[in-house]
Amino acid sequence: MRQTPDPIHWNDLRELRDLFLADLPLERPYWTSLRQMSDYDRTLGERIGWKWDTVIKELKLRGWSPPSRVLTDFGCGTGIAARRMLAAFPGAFDRLVLMDHSAIATGFARNKIQEEFTGIPVELKNPSETLEGTILISHVLTELTETAQAGLAERLQSTDAVVWVEPGTVRCGKALVQQREILRERFTMVAPCPHQGECGLLLPENEAHWCHHFAPAPSSAHQDPFWGHFRRELNLDIGPVAYSFLVADKTAAGDGGLSHLIGKPLRAPKFLRVLSCQQEDIAELVASRRSGDIYRPLKQPASPAVYRFERRKNRITGGQWLGGDE
């Protein structure tokens, strides 16, 4: 017989959401129970999972796979990032390390992972210990003080790869660009960046922009009464959800010739305008029906927003969406 899931404690979840939205460093652990963690995992955590799904889809389209057989989830919470990676790259890891300053969190994440992925050894480590292998960071940045952020950037230098996903806010988008500039000294930028040079968003003329993207919710969520309830209770959209991300790897080659869109396209009746990042510039480009088949994914807009454009000045004259061959 199918078990009915436990009811969600929406008031507690609203308090947690307010804590996150306050956008202040949280120096002490705030997880109080396994029940609270389970409620988070089925709602806010699952929504973060949709961002990871889109990031992983982009990484696969760009031909990336994890360079190391050790996976570390820093600030793991319920372990949503680790679970999405383990599911996406089966057999790629010999060991998983979970780090969080909350023992309730590491305990919850370990149990969940051992239920879902039998056979992978899971190690719990103090967050101040050395970071090993491919590091996942998900929605941790805003909880760290500036000193802790600087310390984390320094500690990441000795790792093999970093896959970092944060909310798509101005603050997080800009903070990840700062982290990129530090990591760029030793790592190849895999995504979203289509080049290895200084980030074009640091130029004064791009001050108003920040690096962010949108992840769709699975189509089933839009029909599911549970997510309708979520929307009403938490006053949060189901999707697309905004995120910022950064993937850096010491062994990757880096691919040329791609463009990554930033934010959402601006639609006009007969054309649309996109902010596009590529090796040569960050530019507002215009597409219309005359751009050919590429107009459709641009208009949709398709996700992940990675393209090979043919351009005449600021007009898109043709090209290909990277996910077009799926």
Ligand X SMILES: C[S@@+](CC[C@H](N)C(=O)[O-])C[C@H]1O[C@@H](n2cnc3c(N)ncnc32)[C@H](O)[C@@H]1O
Using the rule CB under 6 A, is 98 a contact of ligand X? no
For the chain, the 3-state helix, strand and coil shares in percent, each to the nearest 5, are: 40, 25, 35
Using the rule CB under 6 A, is 141 a contact of ligand X? no
Per CB under 6 A, the segment of 7-15, 139-147, 249-257, 276-284 that binds ligand X is: 139-147
Using the rule CB under 6 A, is 148 a contact of ligand X? yes
Using the rule CB under 6 A, is 242 a contact of ligand X? no
Q: Are strands 122-125 and 188-191 parallel, antiparallel or unpaired?
A: unpaired
Per CB under 6 A, the segment of 114-122, 132-140, 237-245, 250-258 that binds ligand X is: 132-140
Using the rule CB under 6 A, is 155 a contact of ligand X? no
**Residue 49 φ/ψ region, left for φ over 0, alpha for ψ in the -120 to 50 degree band, beta for the rest:** alpha
Shortest CB 81 distance to ligand X, Å: 5
Using the rule CB under 6 A, is 105 a contact of ligand X? yes
| Amino acid letter, 26 | L
Question: Are residues 42 and 12 in contact, defined by beta-carbon separation less than 8 angstroms?
Answer: no
Which residue is listed with tokens 């008031």?
A: 11
- Gap between the Cα atoms of 127 and 98, Å rounded: 8
Shortest CB 317 distance to ligand X, Å: 40
Between 103 and 202, whose beta carbon lies closer to ligand X?
103
The residue within the footprint of ligand X, chosen from 8, 43, 45, 259 (CB under 6 A), is 45
Using the rule CB under 6 A, is 240 a contact of ligand X? no
Alpha-carbon 306 to chain mean position: 15
Question: Are residues 227 and 221 in contact, defined by beta-carbon separation less than 8 angstroms?
Answer: yes
Q: Measured between alpha carbons, how far is residue 208 from residues 94, 157, 262 in Å? A: 43, 29, 12
Using the rule CB under 6 A, is 143 a contact of ligand X? yes
Between 14 and 289, whose beta carbon lies closer to ligand X?
14
Q: Which residues bind ligand X (CB under 6 A)?
A: 20, 26, 29, 45, 48, 75-78, 80-81, 99-102, 105, 127, 138-140, 143-144, 148
